[in-house]
Structure 1
């Protein structure tokens, strides 16, 4: 807006119609010029201190002296706009364009009014004129088409701008919104096919087309484009994304592994896509255990992923399927890089328990107790393991040490008492056995009443 003020200032100083000068005596010219300039400068002063009524009053005096001076109407438009008197502002800016159609700033003023009043349809008409002065206004035109839901025009202009000035994040978001509606996808697919024909080495067009076909469940066409991409650009990592899916569907594990490893090693491909591919391979390898080593290698690509702990999630997957050996394997793998993940430690303890690996449970729970001596669950698992191994004295001691760490966990307290009862039974102390089992039963009844 600073440019506008500067422009107005000089325009106001020098705009005195030649016709008026030709028809007036020199003394009168000086008087008229001085009077006009005095009022004009007064209007600038009053506008500067936001006294818009006074500024308008001064400009009306200027208009009486020079009724066809566009700078007067322009300044009136700005003052009315500052007061949010939109109709008056628009009328004055429009008057300027009728006197001087090439006055870009007056068109900008009309655009400002339309934008502030959300009259986007009229704004489109104005901006189409502004584009003649400055092509950058086509960006505004895209937004206006979106606001007025003229998505076909918006899409055409977005594609044109992508071709001529390059892509922008804002336009790509607009385009993604438009293409969620299936009725616009046909023209965009045709557009992308045409671009691929014209420039078969531009990877981005293949990727966009593969994505569109995949989104509309046209997997065969997506695969066709992926193969075309691989042929034209053999080094393309993106081609392998669709080819992986094709190989999995064809139960071709070797080729699927090759495609997967290419994708997982790529810096170009989004992590979400990588996670999706790994999940698909996980399901595949569950039914094809000969690929377990390939799954382990694939997990290694995610070692530094702070958002998703891949080995842990795979362990949970196998635990949900009651495949305890694999659950244990992947929990242990995760804990190599996350030694203080208590949730995983306890999940591993439970997996050892379910898998009847009591030697391992006793050993690992004891090691963890050295690191986390206030975690009651670890005392419980160690006591349970020692009971199963008939180390009743050790079980009793560790359970008695850990029970005091329980806080507001009735289920855990029940389990502690049951294990203490088992230890007492193993030691032949029937009195304490009955005491602990009785406590457990009381807690169970209390839990039921909640």
Structure 2
């Protein structure tokens, strides 16, 4: 009998205690009618006086148990056992007392006695199994549950507890047998099939797990979770052909279940059917209930597959659907911009990035992408416009001033370039590389303005921050050579360049021109011949011709000038050199 031992008042306790007596006596009468002498309560053999004394001790024990005075409670139940050692209820109560005091080891023998003395009381089995489980004696708990189901009719529902204990012990075949016994006694049940499927998966018995999954769907075809679980099992275990057929069949009656389409897409992706995988995503992408972040993450996963001509159309279709479904998501617009950028559609990418900024102008990465596209498109007016807009939100970002100044420099607005570089260099001061870049560009701008002293100072500052700045070493040495100033210094810089970059035609040409200005024409010819191996452009070829002329090789010089003339639009200077067979500098 399962006694509720937590009554909050003595008044309720007295009423409850009377109930205990009546139930105890009723149970004794029932056992007397059902069983022989072995089952009879020894209480029936007591004198009236002993029975009264026993009832008194039992009630007192109950009272102090409710009051949580376990010492006194234990004392009275022990007295009860002195009168009737075979009293199952007293053994049970002492077991509960030890349990309440946290001493399960002492509780166990009394719980065992209670069950043995009254093997028809299912609650004694359950309590014993609970104590055994708590003590980690799972094999004994398994026996107790098994005996309960076998000995007491109507307890088949405890087969679930038996199976749980068996699963914990990894006795999977025994657990399956318990569930099948429950199914035989209780009929087909979803819970049984769910549990059997879990066990089969633990055993890695996929065929049986799938069979139980199909049974679950047949038992309750409207339960979406069973369908999803079945699909996940097939997918996660690489049963791709079966998964494809199963998902397509389920989609026929569940056309709005986005998750099925997502899993079907994953099946196609694993099969290498990338276009089909993308097409399957249209339904979930059209749904506003599917998380936009998940959609973006999915699209991003396909960007790594580009370039692939067959993927362009389905990817762009998905991106369009993404933006239509989530028009207020700057992440969706940015992702679409990324897609167009990866496909080389720069103008379209820039348009989506600009739309992104109308929703959230605080994403510096998007500004960076726009500026990169502006530079790739050589749209320097756009660079100036967009950097000025970006500076409103990010006035301390050095790169914005660098882009802005570079665009002014390319547009030959040298004063504007100087202004931008000077304004931005303060934000680059802590970064040696960036600081060197700013001063390098500033040197180019001042040189174009003819302010050589400031140009030289800027180049010196650039090299102080980064001595191996190849752009500065090249330009500084070249401009010095044109001015025929500090040629030894120019030679030292250009020599470093050709040593570090022996195949760079621009650097080889610069070094050659420094040597040319130093009247080392043979050296100039040597490096120009090397430069032509990597770049046969008009400037290098003309320089080669000039060096040959100075070396006294007039015919060869004219031949090179003719080659250079064929590569330029304005050939007036070259025509004069060729016609007069004379060098004009």
TM-score by shorter chain over 0.5: yes
Residues 312 and 331, structure 1, Cα contact 8 Å, conserved in 2: yes
- Of the three residues 96, 101, 107, the one matched with 2:125 is 107
1:45 aligns with 2:64: yes
1:149 aligns with 2:173: no
3-state SS of paired residue (2:281): helix
1:93-147 C-alpha deviation (Å, 9 max, x unpaired): 1222223234343233223322322233333344456777677756655643442
1:244-302 C-alpha deviation (Å, 9 max, x unpaired): 5688879796x766532212234786778755753566547852334564133133267
**1:73: Cα distance to partner?**
0.6
Residues 302 and 310, structure 1, Cα contact 8 Å, conserved in 2: no
**Residue 236 of structure 2 aligns with which residue?**
215
Q: Which runs of 5+ in 1 are unaligned?
A: none
Does the C-alpha gap of structure 1 residues 259 and 49 become closer, same or farther in structure 2, counting only changes over 3 Å?
Answer: closer
Does the C-alpha gap of structure 1 residues 406 and 21 become closer, same or farther in structure 2, counting only changes over 3 Å?
Answer: same
1:300 aligns with 2:319: no
What TM-score results when the alignment is normalised by the length of structure 1?
Answer: 0.75
1:386-405 C-alpha deviation (Å, 9 max, x unpaired): 22222222222233223333
**Residue 3 of structure 1 aligns with which residue?**
4
CA-atom RMSD in angstroms: 4.6
Residues 89 and 113, structure 1, Cα contact 8 Å, conserved in 2: yes
Residues 166 and 174, structure 2, Cα contact 8 Å, conserved in 1: yes
**1:328: Cα distance to partner?**
4.0
Q: Which runs of 5+ in 2 are unaligned?
A: 8-12, 29-40, 470-585
1:202-233 C-alpha deviation (Å, 9 max, x unpaired): 66555444433332333322222233334455
1:58-117 C-alpha deviation (Å, 9 max, x unpaired): 321121022222221111101222344333312211222223234343233223322322
Deviates more, 1:150-159 or 1:325-334: 150-159
3-state SS of paired residue (2:378): coil
- Which has the greater radius of gyration? 2
**Residue 393 of structure 2 aligns with which residue?**
371
**1:313: Cα distance to partner?**
5.0
Does the C-alpha gap of structure 1 residues 92 and 292 become closer, same or farther in structure 2, counting only changes over 3 Å?
Answer: closer
- The whole-number CA distance in structure 2 between the counterparts of 1:13 and 1:428 is 115
- The whole-number CA distance in structure 2 between the counterparts of 1:373 and 1:228 is 58
**Residue 473 of structure 2 aligns with which residue?**
none
Equivalence map 1:249-398=2 (5 Å): 259-266=280-287, 274=295, 278-279=299-300, 283=305, 286-288=308-310, 289-291=312-314, 293-300=316-323, 303=326, 309-312=331-334, 328=350, 331-398=353-420
**Residue 34 of structure 2 aligns with which residue?**
none
**1:35: Cα distance to partner?**
6.4
**Residue 91 of structure 1 aligns with which residue?**
109
- The whole-number CA distance in structure 1 between the counterparts of 2:440 and 2:355 is 32
Does the C-alpha gap of structure 1 residues 93 and 202 become closer, same or farther in structure 2, counting only changes over 3 Å?
Answer: closer
1:191 aligns with 2:209: no
Does the C-alpha gap of structure 1 residues 413 and 233 become closer, same or farther in structure 2, counting only changes over 3 Å?
Answer: same
**Residue 420 of structure 1 aligns with which residue?**
442
Deviates more, 1:374-383 or 1:191-200: 191-200
- The whole-number CA distance in structure 2 between the counterparts of 1:137 and 1:21 is 32
- The whole-number CA distance in structure 2 between the counterparts of 1:122 and 1:84 is 20
1:60 aligns with 2:78: yes
How many aligned residue pairs are there? 436
1:227 aligns with 2:227: no
- The whole-number CA distance in structure 1 between the counterparts of 2:202 and 2:445 is 64
Residues 176 and 199, structure 2, Cα contact 8 Å, conserved in 1: no
- Of the three residues 74, 98, 102, the one matched with 2:92 is 74
**1:49: Cα distance to partner?**
4.0
**Residue 438 of structure 1 aligns with which residue?**
460
- The whole-number CA distance in structure 1 between the counterparts of 2:91 and 2:342 is 76
Does the C-alpha gap of structure 1 residues 228 and 108 become closer, same or farther in structure 2, counting only changes over 3 Å?
Answer: same
1:365-412 C-alpha deviation (Å, 9 max, x unpaired): 101112332333322222222222222222222332233334743333
Q: Which has the higher contact order (CA 8 A, sep 6+)?
A: 1
Does the C-alpha gap of structure 1 residues 322 and 124 become closer, same or farther in structure 2, counting only changes over 3 Å?
Answer: farther
- The whole-number CA distance in structure 2 between the counterparts of 1:54 and 1:267 is 66
